[in-house]
Amino acid sequence: DEPTVGVVVPTLDAQFWNSYVAFMKKGADELGVKLVVLNADNKPDQMVKSLEDLVAQKVDGIVFTPYWATAARGLTLAKEAEIPVILTDSYPDFSPQTERFPNYIAFIGPSDEDAGYQMAKALFAVIKPGPDGKKVIGVVNGTAGTSVAIDRRKGLEDALKEAPDVRVAGEVDGNFVRDTSQTAFESLFQGNPDITGVWAANGGTATGVMAALKNQGKAPGKDVMVVGMDLNPENVDAVKSGDLLFDIGGHWLQGGFALVALFDQIKGIPVPPGADNVKLKLLPLTKDRVAQFEKDFPGGVPTYDFRQHSRFYNKDAKPAVFEMQYSN
């Protein structure tokens, strides 16, 4: 009697969500869960449809990422069918385990705002002011209108408030996509060659920005500093080579953590109070930490024994959530 858990991811086009799914699959194998993964293909409507299809299948639990304000709808659907749900990645503005949605048992996600803030801080700390005494940066945002893009941008905004010596030369929309980001940033940089730092909204965006810089004969990490987010393997490589100043991430683990908690819930062990609303602290990465990172997280993945964290298998398991931390 393997329980069936349904997962809906916003897209599979991006490496981030593939890592998320891969980690969950590993967990499902270890825990003995049948995992049904559905792809919303970047469409809000398909997200809702996929949730409906999971409910129609009467899965035992659902993990989904409520992009495009789909939280309320998804939770309502699941509530009618009495299916427990854990939301990941994007916080929906209402807390878990309330009367409205008793089946909404937990939220696990990163603080995008915090990540955006940390990226900005790391960037501001390194770049040098120009002739007018201002540090000039360019901003390449994520897909306009997604909560992730908005929250990260909010973090940047907070950092900007604290740094009056930083001037934003311009902002473009990179759509979280490498080639779009490259083209958009090329133009931005042409218009503002005084830019010495770039805040890029995710991994693909940062890679696009670095390609644009190289293409114009600039060395990322020397002439222009770039910060990004996601800890995708190529981002780690870029940090290692010094092209990328700072990266932060690891939050694709959230799905696996959610799976453990949901599995226990299905098996009759509720999520302990206090562990139902987790904002993951993300793992920052700079060049000097790369060696440590590779040692601690071979292949980018922490050693994580799912059964060890499941209270069904291990009575006095530590909380499912395990923040990526350097060993020293």
Partner 1 sequence: METNETSSATKTPNATGEPGVNASRFEVVKRGFPLAMLVLLIVIFSIASPRFLTFSNLLIVLQQGTVLLVAALGMTFVIMAGSIDLSVGSIVALAALATALTADSLGAAAIIPAIAVGAVAGLVNGVLLAKGKVPSFIATMGAMVVYRGIVLLFTRGAPVSIEDEQFLDVYTNRTLGIPHSVIIGLVLMVIAYGIINRTVFGREVRAIGGGERVAILTGIQVARVKVYMYVLLGALCGIAGLLQGARAMAATAQLGEGLELDVIAAVVVGGTPLTGGVGSVVGTMLGVLIITLLSNGMNMAGVDPYLQNIVKGTVLVCAVFVTIDRKKIGIIK
Shortest reach from residue 156's CB to partner 1, in Å: 14
- Minimum CB separation of residue 69 from partner 1 in Å reads 3
C-alpha to C-alpha distance for 37 and 234, rounded to whole angstroms:
25
Task: Check residue 119 for interaction with partner 1 (CB under 8 A).
Answer: no
- Kindly tell me which residue out of 234, 240, 286, 300 binds partner 1, with binding defined by CB under 8 A: 234
Q: Which is nearer to partner 1, 17 or 257 (CB)?
A: 17
CA-nearest of 210, 228, 204 to 123 is 228
Which residues in 193-222 contact partner 1 (CB under 8 A)? 193, 204, 207-208, 211, 214-216
65 belongs to the binding site for partner 1 (CB under 8 A): no
Dihedral-angle region of residue 142 (phi above 0 means left; psi in -120 to 50 means alpha; beta otherwise): beta
CA angle 24, 119, 279 (to 5 degrees): 40
**Total of residues contacting partner 1 (CB under 8 A):** 69
* Nearest residue to 108 (alpha-carbon basis) of 229, 206, 23: 23
Query: Does 118 help bind partner 1 (rule: CB under 8 A)?
Result: no
- Alpha-carbon distance of 9 to 67, in angstroms, equals 9
Binding of residue 100 to partner 1 (CB under 8 A): no
Three-state DSSP state, 226: strand
The one among 24, 33, 54, 244 contacting partner 1 by CB under 8 A: 54
Q: Determine which residue in the list 23, 64, 68, 91 makes contact with partner 1, applying CB under 8 A.
A: 68
What gap in Å lies between CA 49 and CA 1, rounded to an integer? 27
> Alpha-carbon distance 39 to 25, whole Å?
15
Distance in angstroms (rounded) separating the CA atoms of residues 248 and 236: 10
Q: Interface with partner 1 includes 76 (CB under 8 A)? A: yes
Interacting positions 133-192 with partner 1 (CB under 8 A): 141, 144-147, 149-150, 169-173, 177-179, 182-184, 186-188, 190-192
In sequence order, the 6+-apart residues with CB closer than 8 A to the CB of 131 are: none
Residues forming contacts to partner 1 in the complex (CB under 8 A) are 12-18, 22, 36-39, 41-46, 48-50, 52-58, 68-70, 72-73, 76, 141, 144-147, 149-150, 169-173, 177-179, 182-184, 186-188, 190-193, 204, 207-208, 211, 214-216, 232-234
